[in-house]
Amino acid sequence: MKKILLMTIVAVMAMGCSCSKKAEQTEQIKPQDRITILHVNDFEKLVHKGEVRVIDVRTRSEYAEGHIAGAENVDVNQPDFVERLRLKGDVAVYCRSGKRSQKAAMMIAEQGYNVYDLGGGIMAWLQSGKPTVR
Which sequence spans correspond to the domains of the chain? 31-127
Whether 17 is catalytic is no
CA distance 76 to 62: 13
d(C-alpha 119, C-alpha 31), whole Å? 18
Amino acid of residue 52: V
Q: Which member of 95, 115, 122, 124 is catalytic?
A: 95
Q: What is the pLDDT of residue 49?
A: 94
Within the chain, strands assigned E span: 35-38, 53-56, 72-73, 91-94, 115-118
Q: Express as a percent the part of the chain with pLDDT over 90.
A: 78
Tens-digit pLDDT profile for residues 16-52: 554 444 344 446 889 999 999 999 999 999 999 999 9
Is residue 98 pLDDT above 90, yes or no? yes
Distance from C-alpha of 36 to C-alpha of 54, rounded to nearest angstrom: 14
What's the confidence (pLDDT) of residue 28?
A: 80
pTM: 0.79
What architecture (CATH level 2) is domain 31-127? Answer: 3-Layer(aba) Sandwich (3.40)
